[in-house]
Structure 1
């Protein structure tokens, strides 16, 4: 019996995962770094996944309008899942929490997460939309 290629094993692994976000580190045991990079590029070109940021990918589906691959869920859900997988505890941003709690009727335009006292510089983007971070960190008290 013939072994599956790295790309085929990665595609199968992605399809069987419960969540929408996959990290490059999830595939480290499947091959060398160059093999994984090549397979990820091929999966992106095939429309199976889209890149959200450095080492962060999401499952994709074809867009109804353009036919290009787009994530299957919203940026807010993807960012929250990605940050949880990366070990960053997050909460909704101030504007989103106020809207969800019924304190305001203004719908937040940007996806914002509160990272508590932790500073984070990771970019998570889908198209032109990017996640922003707010925190309670103060350099000097």
Structure 2
């Protein structure tokens, strides 16, 4: 009488060749590695960017994909490809081609970049005084520069692109 084969430990992968399509009941668990090649860090980050509705990303969102240096190399290569632009230390924005110059520019306005980035960093923001006055109809002058009211938060981070930066008001 033959002895049955010892059971595989929980979490062990089953060889893909040993499973037929007709009889999958003999395999109680599967392992993705047996059927699918692993994606590279670059592919995983690109997939995350494509599936995300967000336009602004903070570097710590990509920490789960690899080491600091690996993620940095991938982000630099994505900037070179034109998928991202850098808006500050650890702040990246989805890019689009400029219709005027053909260079890569952020896909959203600078003020929105600042609002989204600071909210991801845990800072509550509001529109600056000049923008509030224009929005409420108290003045007809449009604000010339992007300004955000950060309340009592102490923000020293420089957020900007192409020579324009965001001013912070208290």
* TM-score normalised by the chain length of structure 2: 0.77
- The alignment's C-alpha RMSD in Å is 0.8
Specify the SS of the correspondent of 1:87.
coil
Confirm or deny that 1:86 pairs with 2:121: yes
List runs of 5+ in structure 1 lacking aligned partners: 136-141
Q: Which of the two has greater strand per residue?
A: 1
* Offset at residue 95 of structure 1 (A): 0.6
In 2, the alpha carbon distance for the partners of 1:41 and 1:71 equals: 16
| Larger RCO (alpha carbons 8 Å, 6+ apart) | 1
Aligned to 1:139: none
What per-residue deviation string (whole Å, max 9, x for no partner) do you get for residues 55-74 of structure 1? 10000111112221111111
Aligned to 2:107: 72
* TM-score normalised by the chain length of structure 1: 0.93
Q: Which stretches of structure 1, 4 residues or more, deviate above 2 A after TM superposition?
A: none
In 2, the alpha carbon distance for the partners of 1:6 and 1:68 equals: 26
Structure with larger Rg: 2
In 1, the alpha carbon distance for the partners of 2:158 and 2:136 equals: 27
In 2, the alpha carbon distance for the partners of 1:36 and 1:118 equals: 29
